[in-house]
Structure 1
């Protein structure tokens, strides 16, 4: 439409000029940001941008705001050459809009629509499969799962990995052991309380994030149960606090250096006109075994 027409941006493209700036678009007021991860990850992105003589713009989107106008202004106005879209949801209207408008972007994380756009994502299902298998192979059969909001695609993949591991060993799926929509410490504490009150409590817990695992660790200790001795506990992400917890937390590590560089290279490929389907990358995580699961 006429309202979406930005001659300055068109002129820039016709002249082959670029801003040499890319935007990292993250949502404000949506999922709580893990400050430790965010700082480290932005540092990795900035370093990768510098290697390609690019500047990095961190652009916040308001949760529930007018993302169409915001994203269009950012890209069509010539302010940036492309964007990295973070905080992707299972059903993400922003991804659909960017695809329909033909705007250059790479998603950090998949959605339920994984056909015609570039993405870089951690194989979260493989991560929780590995963490749950680790517990099963140590003899645990009653394994609980603590998950975060299933609005986000990665949360569903992490639950899927847990379920897959139980199926591999023909373990029954007990709904009483699954809390798949936790947002904060108080909810996690209540989930742990309910798990401990079961006639047959779990001998192990795997959590979809390290913060959930650390909240659970405190709740268990308050109940007089020592993780790593009385119950096994595993997290996901390997945030800095994980190694310094007592006991140190077994977790699944995201290779942020690899992911950050891959996001930048993938976006540059999209900007250069390469097929988006050639730029879909699933990065493998690593299980880091520490004291919390070594009972």
Structure 2
């Protein structure tokens, strides 16, 4: 958890960021809100059935979710269209004449991870998935999973990852196997491209989204409006990702 103070129109605003992935109990949140020390909450790492959001909606306290859940009630949220981003990558792969498209995804329980995977499946249509993996979101896991696929008799033609760490691991495996360039190259696409501190340079189709600074400004504006009394159901913002092709 992290508490931050913001000055807006000479008023001090106290926000609490619930960034913990573990679920917060109803009693814990109730004690926190009754303290009166917090003006609004920002809830991160949302899950499809997020008990924290359920508890907060029962208290009628002001909060903004970073990501959506499957809960039917209206609440304020800011999100990226994760479904659409993966669909863009699959559509691009199919347009290159590639049909053996593998999904290298994270094993975290979050709406973001689920929606990125579902976007991959939806965009394939009648094309059968080559393979789907759910592993730890790390460079090591991406490397080992890609090595396993390369050992198959019919390797994938495209690998799409759901995070930058997995993409870097996959890129390393492809380069070591001599499959990064040339006629036998396996195309690599992934959410967020490669990490900024990646140890290698590899052509990748990056699924881009807003920068942290841009997203932060949007979230700050939405929280201020929420505190000023705007209804939560009017504060729901979905930004679109885009593809960045290799130079």
Counterpart for residue 151 of structure 1: 109
Counterpart for residue 288 of structure 1: 244
- TM-score, normalised via structure 1 length: 0.71
From 222, 227, 233, the equivalent of 1:266 is 222
From 201, 214, 219, the equivalent of 2:173 is 219
The 5 Å alignment of 1:1-295 reads: 19-27=12-20, 30=21, 63=22, 67-167=25-125, 170-174=126-130, 177-226=131-180, 230-238=185-193, 241=196, 245-256=200-211, 257-290=213-246
Distance 2:162 2:100 in 1: 17
Q: Relative to 1, partners in 2 of residues 1:89 and 1:227: Cα closer, same or farther, differing over 3 Å?
A: farther
CA deviation vs aligned residue, 1:32-62 (integer Å, no higher than 9, x gap): xxxxxxxxxxxxxxxxxxxxxxxxxxxxxxx
Q: Relative to 1, partners in 2 of residues 1:240 and 1:195: Cα closer, same or farther, differing over 3 Å?
A: closer
Instruction: State the Cα distance separating 1:127 from its structure 2 match.
Output: 0.5
Task: Give unpaired runs (5+ residues) of structure 1.
Answer: 1-17, 31-62
User: Which of the pair is proportionally richer in helix?
Assistant: 1
CA deviation vs aligned residue, 1:210-235 (integer Å, no higher than 9, x gap): 11111111122233332687111011
Distance 1:261 1:151 in 2: 27
User: Which of the pair is proportionally richer in strand?
Assistant: 2
What's the Cα RMSD here?
A: 2.5
CA deviation vs aligned residue, 1:123-152 (integer Å, no higher than 9, x gap): 001111111111111121111111112510
Distance 1:212 1:98 in 2: 34
Instruction: State the Cα distance separating 1:67 from its structure 2 match.
Output: 4.5
Runs of 4+ in 1 over 6 A off after TM superposition: none
What number of residue pairs does the alignment pair up?
235
Give 3-state SS (helix, strand or coil) of 2:229's partner: coil
Distance 1:242 1:148 in 2: 20
Higher relative contact order (CA 8 A, sep 6+): 1
Instruction: State the Cα distance separating 1:270 from its structure 2 match.
Output: 2.3
Distance 1:242 1:202 in 2: 27
Distance 1:252 1:90 in 2: 22
Distance 2:195 2:150 in 1: 28
Instruction: State the Cα distance separating 1:181 from its structure 2 match.
Output: 4.1
Task: Give unpaired runs (5+ residues) of structure 2.
Answer: 1-10
Give 3-state SS (helix, strand or coil) of 1:202's partner: coil
Instruction: State the Cα distance separating 1:243 from its structure 2 match.
Output: 8.4
Q: Relative to 1, partners in 2 of residues 1:77 and 1:150: Cα closer, same or farther, differing over 3 Å?
A: same
Q: Relative to 1, partners in 2 of residues 1:70 and 1:264: Cα closer, same or farther, differing over 3 Å?
A: farther
- TM-score, normalised via structure 2 length: 0.84
- Given that 2:101 and 2:129 are in contact with CA atoms closer than 8 Å, whether structure 1 keeps it comes out as no
